Amino acid sequence: MFARNLKYSNLILWIVIFSTLNLQAQRHHPVTAEKGMVVCAEPLAAKIGLQVLKKGGNAIDAAVAVGFALAVTYPTAGNLGGGGYMVIHLKDGRDIAIDYREIGPASATKNMYLNKEGKVETEKIQLGETAAAVPGSVAGMLYALDKYGTLKRKDIVQPALNAAISGFQVSTSFASSLARNSKELSRFPSTKKIFFKNDSLYREGEILKQPDLAKTLQRIIDFGSDGFYKGETADLLCKQIIKGNGYISLSDLAGYAPVERDVVRGTYHGYDIVSMPPSSSGGVILIEILNILEQFQFTQDEYGSAKYYHILTEAMKHAYADRAVHLGDPAFWKVPVTMLLSKNYASDIARQINGKARPSGKILAGSPEKYESPQTTHYSVTDKEGNAVSVTTTINSEYGAKVVVEGAGFFLNNEMDDFAAKPGVPNQFGLVGGDANSIAPRKRMLSSMTPTIVLKNGKPVLILGSPGGSTIITATLQVLLNVIDFKMNVADAVAAPRIHHQWLPDRIDYELNGLALDVRTALKNKGQIIGEKRVLGLVEAIYIDPLTGQISGCSDPRGSGAAEGY
Fill in the DSSP letter of residue 211: H
Query: Residue 413: left if φ>0, alpha if ψ -120 to 50, beta else—which one?
Result: beta
Fill in the DSSP letter of residue 170: P
In sequence order, the β-bridge partners of residue 500 are 509
CA gap 249, 252 in Å, rounded = 5
CA gap 333, 326 in Å, rounded = 8
Q: Which of 122, 130, 313, 376 is catalytic?
A: 376
In sequence order, the β-bridge partners of residue 544 are 551
CA gap 211, 164 in Å, rounded = 6
Helix ranges, 43-200 (H): 43-54, 59-73, 122-126, 137-148, 153-166, 172-180, 182-185, 189-195
Active site residue 392: no
Fill in the DSSP letter of residue 103: B
In sequence order, the β-bridge partners of residue 552 are 32, 543
- Write the DSSP string, 217-261: HHHHHHHTTHHHHSHHHHHHHHHHHHHTT----HHHHHT---EEE
CA gap 192, 174 in Å, rounded = 15
CA gap 532, 156 in Å, rounded = 42
CA gap 69, 62 in Å, rounded = 10
The residues that are catalytic are 376
